[in-house]
């Protein structure tokens, strides 16, 4: 496994050679990106330390990791089958609710923890042709090939670089004040709701590279190939969710169709929320092309750290988010098995504290509401940079309470 970003060239320093990786935006009070105060040597040290974490996990991958992904896939398939069977009795409200909830959960697992991560190559080390990024396809409108280019290559290489990372606003929303405003953005609060509801279709269209199409840089042949691929995926989903499985419910087929439609909408809303919360909260930094010119591997690591944000939650929440609630760790190590992100998070935090770097994180509703506020505010002209968090400081450990037992003359220390 290797980091996605550039690994050659050098980060330009300031005039005195003391800093590297970025240049200050004059007049911007919130532009003091941590890259400005890190020396080139510190940036490379950080890169080496992150690479060491990556390599240690790679060397430790084994059967327990393989068993994890195989068990998740097996659970997803059984949950899907059971939910489909229950929905055959969808004319009964309890069956409809149970089947819809189960199918929604299964679709989220397939999209987030399985499909997204398998297509990232996180499990390619297993050399299992059934669980490999070159052969896997998922139950969503995007074709695997288009998504891997748009997401794995473009987004993870150029994360949060305005003008290069097409995921900053997905080419039809303004989510950063450095994006030039135009009247079309006035519609983005309404578009945002549509994107939530039909996220898989928005991503599929985005993966076609709308900017290249507008500028005539994409051939008609390539456009038609993309549309045919999306059409095939759409046809399979329509046939499966809206024809074949509803037909198994007989004359009550409409109720099963509604259940399948609901499950797809739930999956779309959830995946949209997790992805947006990991990229567009106030804490995340964005960059200009000039700021990251001649970026080294160390600079790439620091940019990934600064450009992502985590979402706090319990183990079930992390599983249902595809472990993308550890978005910081995912962007540092996009091809590391997602089940290892929780394990390495303390090491990432320790590095942040050592070098005075932020560790962007927050509860789900805090992150989600910040994103919605940003989308609403930036629909209109103007909008300033949001304040960024300071260096990460580990919370103090709670004092240990000694165990005591009541003795004749009062409490005495208990044996361990």
Residue 403 is predicted with a pLDDT of: 73
Q: Is 26 exposed, middle or buried (0-12, 13-18, 19+ CB in 10 A)?
A: exposed
Helix (H) or strand (E) holding 405: strand 404-407
Residue 380 carries which DSSP code? S
Cβ(51)–Cβ(3) under 8 Å? Answer: yes
In a domain, 216, yes or no: yes
* 363 φ, ψ (degrees, to nearest 5): -65, 160
**Phi, psi angle pair for 351, to nearest 5°:** -65, -40
Contact (CB, 8 A) for 267 and 260: no
Nearest one of 164, 147, 153, 133 to 69, comparing CA atoms: 133
How far is it, in rounded angstroms, from Cα 359 to Cα 309? 8
178 and 164 Cβ atoms separated by less than 8 Å: no
Residue 298 domain-assigned? Answer: yes
Domain assignment of residue 399, yes or no = no
The pLDDT of residue 254 is 96
Say how many Å lie between the first and final Cα of the chain, rounded.
44
Cα 340 from Cα 349, distance rounded (Å): 15
Residue with tokens 């003391």: 18
Give the pair of three-digit tokens for residue 47.
């890169």
- What's the structural domain count of the chain? 1
Residue 118 is assigned to a structural domain of this protein: yes
Domain that holds residue 234: 34-377
DSSP characters over 346-359: HHHHHHHHHHT---
In the structure encoding, which two tokens stand for residue 21, read together?
């990786």
Give one DSSP letter per residue of 212-243, joined into a string.
HHHTT-S-HHHHHHHHHHHHHHHHHHHHIIII
Name the 3-class secondary structure at 372: helix
416 DSSP assignment: -
Residue 406 lies in a domain: no
For residue 74, the 8-state DSSP code is H
Q: What is 282-343 written as a DSSP string?
A: TT---B-TTTTTT--HHHHHHHHHHH----B--HHHHHHTTTGGGHHHHHH-TTS-GGGHHH
CB 385, CB 31: distance < 8 Å: yes
**Which residues does 280 contact at the CB level (< 8 Å), separation at least 6?**
175, 370, 371, 374, 375
Query: pLDDT tens string for the chain (416 positions)?
Result: 444 443 333 223 333 333 344 444 444 433 467 877 899 999 999 999 999 999 999 999 999 999 999 999 999 999 999 999 999 999 999 999 999 999 999 999 999 999 999 999 999 999 999 999 999 999 999 999 999 999 999 999 999 999 999 999 888 899 999 899 999 999 999 999 999 999 999 999 988 888 888 888 888 888 899 899 999 999 999 999 999 999 999 999 999 999 999 999 999 999 999 999 999 999 999 999 988 888 999 999 999 999 999 999 999 999 999 999 999 999 999 999 999 999 999 999 999 999 999 999 999 999 999 999 999 999 999 988 888 888 989 888 777 777 776 766 677 776 65
Distance CA 99, CA 334 (A): 33
Integer-rounded Cα radius of gyration of the chain? 24
Return the closest-CA partner of residue 209 out of 161, 142, 120. 142
* pLDDT of res. 367: 96
Q: What's the CA gap between 318 and 35, in Å, rounded?
A: 29
SS3 state at 131: coil
């Amino acid at each position: 496994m290797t980091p996605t970003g550039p690994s050659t060239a050098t980060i330009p320093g300031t005039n005195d050679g003391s800093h590297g990786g970025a240049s200050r935006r004059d007049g911007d009070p919130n532009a003091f990106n941590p890259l400005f105060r890190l020396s080139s040597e510190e940036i490379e040290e950080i890169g080496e330390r992150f690479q060491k974490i990556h390599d240690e996990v790679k060397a430790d991958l084994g059967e327990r990791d393989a068993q994890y992904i195989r068990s998740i896939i097996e659970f997803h398939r059984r949950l899907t089958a059971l939910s489909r069977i229950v929905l055959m009795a969808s004319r009964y409200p309890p069956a409809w609710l149970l089947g819809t909830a189960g199918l929604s959960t299964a679709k989220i697992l397939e999209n987030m923890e399985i499909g997204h991560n398998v297509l990232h190559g996180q499990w390619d080390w297993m050399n299992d042709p059934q669980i490999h990024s070159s052969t896997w396809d998922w139950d969503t409108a995007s074709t695997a090939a288009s998504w891997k280019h748009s997401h794995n290559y473009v987004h993870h290489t150029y994360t949060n670089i305005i003008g290069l990372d097409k995921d900053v606003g997905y080419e039809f929303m303004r989510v950063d004040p450095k994006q030039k405003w135009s009247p079309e953005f006035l519609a983005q609060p309404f578009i945002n709701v549509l994107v939530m509801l039909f996220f898989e279709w928005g991503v599929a269209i985005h993966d076609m590279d709308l900017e290249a199409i507008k500028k005539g840089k994409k051939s008609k042949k390539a456009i038609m190939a993309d549309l045919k691929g999306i059409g095939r995926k759409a046809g399979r989903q329509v046939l499966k969710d809206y024809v074949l499985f509803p037909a198994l419910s007989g004359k009550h087929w409409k109720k099963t169709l509604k259940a399948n439609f609901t499950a797809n909408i739930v999956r779309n809303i959830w995946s949209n929320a997790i992805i947006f919360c990991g990229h567009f909260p106030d804490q995340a930094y964005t960059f200009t092309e000039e700021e990251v010119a001649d970026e080294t591997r160390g600079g790439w690591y620091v940019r990934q750290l600064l450009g992502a944000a985590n979402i706090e939650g319990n183990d079930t929440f992390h599983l249902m988010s595809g472990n993308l609630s550890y978005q910081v760790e995912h962007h540092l190590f996009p091809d590391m098995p997602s089940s290892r992100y929780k394990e390495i998070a303390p090491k990432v935090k320790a590095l942040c504290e050592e070098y005075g770097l932020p560790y962007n994180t927050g509860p789900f509703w805090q992150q989600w509401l910040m994103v919605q506020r940003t989308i609403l505010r930036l629909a209109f002209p103007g909008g300033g940079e949001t304040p960024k968090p300071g260096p990460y400081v580990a919370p103090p450990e709670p004092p240990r309470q000694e165990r005591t037992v009541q003795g004749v003359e009062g409490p005495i220390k208990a044996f361990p």
